[in-house]
Structure 1
Amino acid sequence: MKLKTIIVEDEETSREILRNYLTKYCPKVDIVGEAANVDEALVLIRNHELDLVFLDVEMPKGNAFDLLEQVGDRSFETVFVTAYNQYAMDALNTHASYYLLKPVSIDELIKAVDYVSEIKTKENALDNKVLTAHTIDKQGKITIPVQDGFEVLSAQDILYCKADDNYTEIFLKNDEKKLVSKTLKFFQDALTYFGFARVHKSYLVNVNEITAYKKGKGGSVVLSSGKEVMVSASQKANLLTYFQ
């Protein structure tokens, strides 16, 4: 599939370089417009059904984060392009699919486009289909430490887990919450076999409890409790494989 794309970059030379690289090395991309600032970018975004936006961080009349805030719900993926690597964490938190440093590496650019193409292909394949999550239906139990010993939890009674620094909050289907002095990575390793997926740096969810997937604001899932959890761009492709 072709990815309808715009380039948002205030430097003309940088736009030209990126345009030439995409044209020569990324045949999956269809560049439908270019913008030099936030205002121009908003016009393009509102007038096109986009799949991908290449976005410089610092621009006249605002920055990339201002632009995404004004856009609100969005179904396109973003690839940040900047000379300043201190924006990496902000990029991830804003659900950028990829982060490219200037001068842009052709190999990294191809990887970025391929990753977005994978996400879009999987999303499109899931549209208007009756789905069954491809999880391993196994019963399992885990133990969590408590003050006077440990407590045993059934894996399938867990709705989702949320990171809290070096602690993890475990949310159960019965509306109980447990605070455990172990990292989310510990529970990711322990629960993956039982149909749990890491969807964000802060969230691990029971895939069997997902009732909806939303493309808006970069992507989110709705759980059976009504809780909506953001899906980071780096975890989208992995999550969508559960529903193919």
Structure 2
Amino acid sequence: MKAIMVEDEIASRETLRNYLTKYCPSVELVAEAPSVAEGLKAIALHQPDLVFLDVEMPYGNAFDLLEQVQDITFETIFVTAYSHYAVQALNFSASYYLLKPIDIEELIQAVSKVEEAQSQKQDQLRTKILIDNLKTMNHQLKKVVLPVMDGFEVVQVKDIIRCQANGNFTDFYLADGSKRMICRTLKFYDEILSQLGFCRVHKSHLINLEYILSYKKGKGGTVLLQGNHEVEVSPSRKKEFLNHFIS
């Protein structure tokens, strides 16, 4: 794969360049850029298959760069020092990212996933979903990428009634009556959906507050959701849940 790197830190560029040379022989690094402006020029000139993109840079960030690309035809691996906002956005769209300092095994894994997705032309869609989500003000209109056995599905937040833990999987119950079993834990989705109108009411249950019809008192109580979903509220999470309805 023909790749470019957009990274403002010289030491970070050198580290990633060396790692790619030694551990990712399928990647040919054809250009490096220290800023958004130079990155845009390199993308236009080289038409890469893959872009390693630092999230935070002077005079703009990764999302600013992507918004200025007319037609995204490349895969993207984001590189970032920990930023809750950035990581949440990337997780939501199931984008690939590496946390600094870069771990070699994670780099190899990310490149392998991109190679696999490239053959199915999936990653461009992931990146477009990421940009759409960043532009969307209404949380319920955001989209989430759900990895399934043969690829992934894209659903809007507003179409998710609830999520239920199923071992290392999570069962998604959708407004059309369908169900999806997703190979990620409920904790993962709790972290990205809790800021978007969802509430963890039980260790096994995450619900969309927009679908609540009624609440019945009890030690923890129970919530009735549209679609005839009845969900138990654990006593330890009762106060947090009720706080959503206190004006």
Q: For residue 4 of structure 1, report the CA deviation from its aligned partner.
A: 0.7
Secondary structure, aligned partner of 1:27: coil
Instruction: Report the TM-score, using the length of structure 1 for normalisation.
Output: 0.52
Gaps in structure 2 of 5+ consecutive residues: 123-153, 163-171, 182-191, 194-247
* Residues 94/161 of structure 1: CA separation in 2 closer, same or farther (3 Å cut): closer
Report the AA paired with residue 188 of structure 1.
R
SS class of match (1:164): helix
Give, in angstroms, the shift of residue 162 of structure 1: 4.3
Alpha-carbon offset, residue 93 of structure 1: 4.7
Question: What is the distance in 1 between the residues matched to 2:33 and 2:93?
Answer: 20
For 2:9, the equivalent position in structure 1 comes to 11
SS at match of 1:75: coil
* 1:187 counterpart (169, 179, 183): 179
Aligned to 1:38: 36
Query: Following superposition of structure 1 onto structure 2, how do residues 70-219 of structure 1 map, counting pairs within 5 Å?
Result: 70-86=68-84, 87-93=86-92, 96=95, 98-123=96-121, 162-164=156-158, 166-167=160-161, 182-183=173-174, 187-189=179-181
Q: Which amino acid aligns with 1:63?
A: N
State the match for 2:25 in structure 1.
27
> Residue 104 of structure 1 aligns to a residue in which SS?
coil
1:103 Cα deviation after fit:
0.6
CA distance in 1, matches of 2:23, 2:99: 18
Q: Which runs of 5+ in 1 are unaligned?
A: 125-159, 169-180, 190-200, 203-244
Are the aligned partners of 2:173 and 2:180 in contact in 1 as well (CA < 8 Å)?
A: no
Q: CA deviation at 1:60?
A: 1.5
Aligned 8 A contact 1:85 1:101 in 2: no
* Counterpart residue type for residue 110 of structure 2: A
2:187 maps to what in 1? none
Aligned residues: 142
Q: Distance in 1 between matches of 2:55 and 2:78?
A: 7
| Matched letter for residue 19 of structure 2 | Y
Change (3 A) 1:161 1:16: closer
Per the TM alignment, residue 21 of structure 1 is displaced from its structure 2 partner at its CA by 0.3
- What is the distance in 2 between the residues matched to 1:187 and 1:80? 31
Equivalent in the alignment of 2:58: 60
Alpha-carbon distance in 2 for matches of 1:4, 1:107: 21
**Higher relative contact order at CA 8 Å, sep ≥6: structure 1 or structure 2?**
1
Q: Determine the structure 2 residue equivalent to 1:215.
A: none
Q: CA deviation at 1:106?
A: 0.1
1:99 Cα shift? 1.1
Aligned-residue Cα RMSD (Å) equals: 3.1
- Between the aligned partners of 1:116 and 1:20, the Cα distance in structure 2 is 19
Letter paired with 2:37: D
Q: Distance in 1 between matches of 2:75 and 2:68?
A: 15
In the superposition, the TM-score normalised over structure 2's length comes to: 0.51
Q: Secondary structure at the match of 1:5?
A: strand
Query: Is the contact between residue 21 and residue 106 of structure 1 (CA under 8 Å) also seen in structure 2?
Result: yes
Distance 2:24 2:121 in 1: 20
